[in-house]
Structures are given as C-alpha cells and as structure tokens.
Amino acid sequence: MIVVMEQNAPDDRIDTIANRITELGLKAHVIRGTERTVIAAVGDERKIKVESFESYPGVSEVLPILAPYKMASRELRQDPTQVRALGFRAGRGVVGVMGGPCSVENEEQIVACARAVKASGGTALRGGAFKPRTSPYSFQGMKEDGLKLLDLARQETGLAVVTEVMSTEDVPLVAKYADVLQIGARNMQNYRLLEAVGRSGRAVLLKRGPSATIEEWLLAAEYILNEGNPDVMLCERGIRTFENHTRFTLPLASVPYLHRKTHLPVIVDPSHGTGHSYLVTDMAAASVAAGADGLIVEMHPNPEKAMSDGYQSLDFAQFDEMMKRCRTIAMALGKELG
Ligand code: PEP
Ligand code: MN
C-alpha cells in the first residue's frame, strides 16, 4: 500500500502515519519525491485497512502496489533512482561505466587496468577477487590479497571498486574494500546473501540469474531494498537459451521493459552477455541506445593471457574505442557517459 501525502504535508503528519504502519507490524518507508512525499507500507497487507488511512489528516490518497515487488516498483517511486559510489553514478541521465578484468591477477595488471579505465573516462574499476567458477579446478581468485590490490588501484586512480561477494560470511570483509558489492548471476536467488548485502551499507550490483525471469530478478532486488539499502543496480548479463553462437543470449529488451517496471538503474554486461570480445563494443553501444544506465565491461592488458574470461575481454585500445562509440550515443540521447 502507498499512502500519498498532500503537497507540503508537514513532518508530524508523515510521522503519525509511519508510526501507525509500524504499530501494525509492517515496515514504513518514507519516500520524499520532487512533487510529494509517499509512505510505503511493506509487509503483510492483510493486517491493514486501507480505508482507515484515507481519513488521516494530510493524506491525499491511498493506493495498492499491484506489483509483487514493492520497493523496487515504479508504482512506488516515479523518479528514477541514481546510484552513486565515489565518482561513479548510474541513472538519471548518467551512463556509468565500470571496466576492468574478470579477475584480479597481480598488482601490475590491476593498476594498469585502473589507469586505462580512468584514461578512457570510466568511473569504476571491476575485478573479481572471489571468483565463482564452473569448475572447482579453475582459478578461484586471489581472495583478500585481490581485495587489497583493488584498494591500491583505487588509491592510485580514485575509481570506485566493484567486486563480487559470493557468500554471506564474506560480506564484512568484501564490504571493507569495495564501494559496490557485486552479486553474481549464480547467487541471484541466494536470499540470505541478498539480505546480508542489504545491511552492508554498500551499493549493490545485482546480476540477473541466467534462468531467472524479470519478476524473480526484481523480487531478488526487493530482498536487498527491504533491508533498508536503496542503492541497488540491476545488471542484465544474458540468459540461457537454446542458442549457442554466443555464451549467453543478451536480451536488450529487458532494459526498456525494466524502466517501465522499476525506478532502479539498469546496467548491461555485454562481456558475459556475448562471450566474444568482437561482439562487445557493438552490444555495449546497443545497450546505451536501448537506454541502459550503465555498462560493466571486461578488459585486460593482454586478453590472451588472462586467467579468466580473456576471450570476452577487450584490450585497452578496444576499450577506449568502445567508450568513444558509447559516449557519442549517450550524448545523442542527452546523457552523460563516464
Ligand atoms: C563476472 O562478472 O566475472 C561474473 C562471474 O559474472 P556473472 O556472475 O554474470 O557470470
Ligand atoms: Mn568474468
């Protein structure tokens, strides 16, 4: 349920309603928009009578939230959310770019990537320290040593650090070093992990599970939002289909579709979405054209030598070229890219 307040409703009236919602055993989220303040009552709605709220002073109207995801829904918040972390921004006219290797490998590699991302105008450095690998015999990441190298690269460049956290017990450690916590595709429905990142105080990049529907994905985002963390970005990284010319199938219609359903920023990962470096730049450009609020792109000083996902990683010159193409498109749409 959403309680829409009259314009300029005073704080004490807003508080009265929020307190009443809490007394009834639901969570009250006060959302101050540019036009009006709304109060969302989230939880078991059988406990509340809509009519009883209509008569409170200062209330303009009371509306149900029809979508099963409440906090993530556009019904709740019409203004798009902009997520920020250090100099990185995504949403509301800004296309935020995160670039970097699949895995952190050593100091030279990660610092070189960070410098190249920065030189091309990106604002965040990606790099996995805890890697979810299909085979237990593949490189599993540098773990805390990798996080320390990301921290060093941040100190060198000022870029925000985006890195994956794979398990609930690692959240405090990864949150100590990261500006944005990445929830990998394989963990999209690990609900205890979603709750933990919801309490971490860090922005979250929630990747789509390769077989998740958009509704399941938005309900996963809801777990994070419901813990009080508003800084959630959705990342389309491709889904599994019968098609095998690409590693996954990258459904870009999800970008404008999500913009109808949610106020959260939508990021696209054309690296995992295609699995081929020669397709990445075109699909990055297409993502921006489709309205994406950000990109996460794998790049490496020497892709052939990468310890993971080299075949889908751009080299520095290709990354720079991609940035130029995407910036031209962003500017044509009246947006900033960086
Ligand atoms: C990654 O970003 O390197 C990664 C493992 O992504 P995903 O979870 O989308 O497969
Ligand atoms: Mn990867």
Residues with CB under 5 A from ligand 2 (ion): 102, 309
Q: Give the pLDDT confidence score for residue 332 in this predicted structure.
A: 98
Q: Give the pLDDT confidence score for residue 50 in this predicted structure.
A: 78
CA–CA separation, 127 and 129 (whole Å): 7
Mapping DSSP to helix (H, G, I), strand (E, B) and coil, where does residue 105 land?
Answer: coil
Handedness of CA 313, 317, 323, 326 (dihedral sign): negative
Q: Give the pLDDT confidence score for residue 286 in this predicted structure.
A: 99
Tokens of 176: 């100590």
Residue nearest to atom 8 of ligand 1 (CA): 184
The domain defined by 2-63 folds into Alpha-Beta Plaits (3.30.70)
Residue nearest to atom 1 of ligand 1 (CA): 102
For ligand 1, say whether the CB of 301 is within 6 Å of any of its atoms: no
Q: Give the pLDDT confidence score for residue 224 in this predicted structure.
A: 98
Tokens of 300: 């490496």
Placement of tokens 């969302």 in the chain: 40
The domain defined by 83-337 folds into TIM Barrel (3.20.20)
Q: Give the pLDDT confidence score for residue 17 in this predicted structure.
A: 95
For ligand 1, say whether the CB of 207 is within 6 Å of any of its atoms: yes
For ligand 1, say whether the CB of 272 is within 6 Å of any of its atoms: yes
Residue 61 CA: distances (Å) to CA of 18, 50, 94, 213, 263: 15, 10, 33, 32, 21
With residue 38 as reference, give the H or E element that holds it.
strand 37-42
- Give the mean model confidence (pLDDT) for residues 85-101: 98
Q: Residue 273 C-alpha to ligand 1 middle, in angstroms?
A: 10
Q: Is the pLDDT of residue 71 over 90?
A: yes
Q: Give the pLDDT confidence score for residue 165 in this predicted structure.
A: 98
Mutation test of ligand 1: which of 98, 102, 206, 249 has the most ligand atoms closer than 8 Å to its C-beta? Answer: 102
Residue nearest to atom 4 of ligand 1 (CA): 184
* Res. 36 pLDDT band, cuts 50 70 90: confident
Residue 307 CA: distances (Å) to CA of 67, 150, 251, 297: 42, 17, 27, 16
Of 95, 123, 122, 91, which is closest to residue 288 (Cα–Cα)? 95
- Give the mean model confidence (pLDDT) for residues 77-104: 97
Amino acid at 144: E
Mapping DSSP to helix (H, G, I), strand (E, B) and coil, where does residue 24 land?
Answer: coil
Q: Give the pLDDT confidence score for residue 35 in this predicted structure.
A: 79
Domain coordinates in residue numbering, the chain: 2-63, 83-337
Please count the other Cβ atoms lying within 10 Å of the Cβ belonging to residue 156.
Answer: 14
Q: Give the pLDDT confidence score for residue 48 in this predicted structure.
A: 82
Q: Give the pLDDT confidence score for residue 8 in this predicted structure.
A: 87
Q: Give the pLDDT confidence score for residue 205 in this predicted structure.
A: 99
CA–CA separation, 338 and 330 (whole Å): 10
Taking a C-beta distance cutoff of 8 angstroms, is the pair 298, 279 a contact? no
Q: Give the pLDDT confidence score for residue 46 in this predicted structure.
A: 82
Residue 8 CA: distances (Å) to CA of 45, 63, 75, 80: 27, 19, 21, 21
* Res. 45 pLDDT band, cuts 50 70 90: confident
Average pLDDT, the chain: 96
